[in-house]
């Protein structure tokens, strides 16, 4: 596997294929594939965006989940809406796109007309998979403690297995009574600057840096944090932390996954494909 470091990362999007332990009473969602995208931070069109869009048109998945921070700055929401149409328009087809907003987003982007995205604003929707039903919930976090997770997760049939989209990964510590099999988050940018050996040293959230990227088990729930696509002020660079798209395949939870020793530790995953431009 070729690794791309430093400057070369500017033109690279990593695709990670990850089997995700998912807890639910029946295993109907097993095998479902969710493409996880985050933190696009639209500012100007780039080769990375072009590559990400092409990958999302061709990769195999059943639904696309986007966990917030579409914008660079909230005040630029009109430009963000234009770029969202340019980016997501060609991707949209018969595969649904679900999304939540993040702390860089203006709520008006979720109200724009003709956007091929189902925004989940403290709400949920039922996704019909070939094997059964899955609830996709989303909490709107325009700031760290924003939104109502309980309302999002209880807004439909309570017995359905649930995937929660939440911009801040620390939401996994605040699920309360909501039964969530998988939390998808962004915000950390995977640490954005990852040091050799030390990895991520700052999560930008109340989450241990070691959990700021990838897959982990936290309080009995699986958490996946995307490194995202873009960057934002005051740190407009990525080092050892390329833009990424993750293809998550839901797998039945095993006893080993659920063991207490698996708690609060990253579950290793390997990038299987790196797209150069
Ligand atoms: Fe972000």
For residue range 11-31, what is the model confidence (pLDDT) as tens digits?
A: 689 999 999 988 766 667 788
User: Which pLDDT score is estimated for 3?
Assistant: 32
User: Which pLDDT score is estimated for 180?
Assistant: 92
What separation in Å is there between the alpha carbon of 259 and the centre of ligand 1?
Answer: 32
What separation in Å is there between the alpha carbon of 91 and the centre of ligand 1?
Answer: 22
What separation in Å is there between the alpha carbon of 257 and the centre of ligand 1?
Answer: 29
Residue ranges in the chain modelled with pLDDT below 70: 1-11, 24-27, 156-158, 268-277
User: Which pLDDT score is estimated for 93?
Assistant: 87
What separation in Å is there between the alpha carbon of 41 and the centre of ligand 1?
Answer: 7
What separation in Å is there between the alpha carbon of 74 and the centre of ligand 1?
Answer: 12
What separation in Å is there between the alpha carbon of 141 and the centre of ligand 1?
Answer: 12
User: Which pLDDT score is estimated for 200?
Assistant: 85
> How far apart, in whole angstroms, are the C-alpha atoms of residue 81 and residue 74?
11
What separation in Å is there between the alpha carbon of 207 and the centre of ligand 1?
Answer: 15
What separation in Å is there between the alpha carbon of 227 and the centre of ligand 1?
Answer: 9
What separation in Å is there between the alpha carbon of 159 and the centre of ligand 1?
Answer: 32
What separation in Å is there between the alpha carbon of 194 and the centre of ligand 1?
Answer: 16
What separation in Å is there between the alpha carbon of 40 and the centre of ligand 1?
Answer: 7
> How far apart, in whole angstroms, are the C-alpha atoms of residue 19 and residue 272?
12
What separation in Å is there between the alpha carbon of 231 and the centre of ligand 1?
Answer: 7
What separation in Å is there between the alpha carbon of 168 and the centre of ligand 1?
Answer: 10
Taking domain 6-276, whether its CATH number is 3.30.420.10 is answered by no
User: Which pLDDT score is estimated for 165?
Assistant: 98
Spans of all domains in the chain: 6-276
What separation in Å is there between the alpha carbon of 177 and the centre of ligand 1?
Answer: 28
What separation in Å is there between the alpha carbon of 71 and the centre of ligand 1?
Answer: 8
User: Which pLDDT score is estimated for 276?
Assistant: 57
Residue 76 CA from chain centroid, whole number: 22
């Amino acid at each position: 596997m070729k690794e791309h470091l430093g400057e070369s990362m500017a033109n690279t999007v990593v695709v990670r294929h990850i089997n995700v332990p998912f807890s639910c009473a029946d295993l109907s969602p097993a095998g479902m594939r969710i493409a996880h995208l985050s933190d696009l931070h639209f500012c100007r069109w780039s080769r990375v965006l072009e590559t990400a869009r092409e990958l999302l048109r061709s990769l195999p998945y059943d639904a696309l989940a986007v966990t917030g921070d579409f914008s660079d700055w909230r005040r630029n929401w009109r430009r963000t809406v234009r770029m969202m149409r340019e980016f997501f328009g060609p991707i949209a087809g018969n595969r649904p796109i679900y999304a939540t907003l993040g702390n860089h987003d203006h709520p008006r982007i979720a109200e724009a007309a003709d956007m091929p995205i189902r925004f989940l604003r403290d709400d949920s929707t039922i996704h019909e998979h070939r094997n059964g039903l899955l609830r996709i919930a989303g909490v709107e976090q325009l700031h760290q403690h924003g939104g109502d997770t309980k309302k999002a997760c209880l807004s439909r049939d309570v017995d359905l297995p649930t995937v929660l989209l939440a911009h801040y990964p620390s939401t996994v510590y605040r699920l309360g009574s909501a039964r969530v099999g998988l939390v998808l988050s962004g915000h950390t940018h995977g640490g954005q600057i990852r040091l050799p050996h030390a990895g991520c040293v700052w999560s930008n959230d109340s989450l241990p840096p070691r959990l700021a990227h990838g897959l982990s088990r936290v309080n009995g729930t699986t958490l996946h944090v995307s490194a995202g696509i873009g960057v934002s002020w005051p740190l407009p660079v990525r080092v050892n932390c390329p833009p990424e798209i993750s293809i998550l395949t839901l797998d039945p939870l095993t006893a080993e996954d659920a063991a207490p020793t698996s708690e609060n530790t990253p579950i290793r995953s390997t990038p299987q494909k790196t797209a150069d431009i």
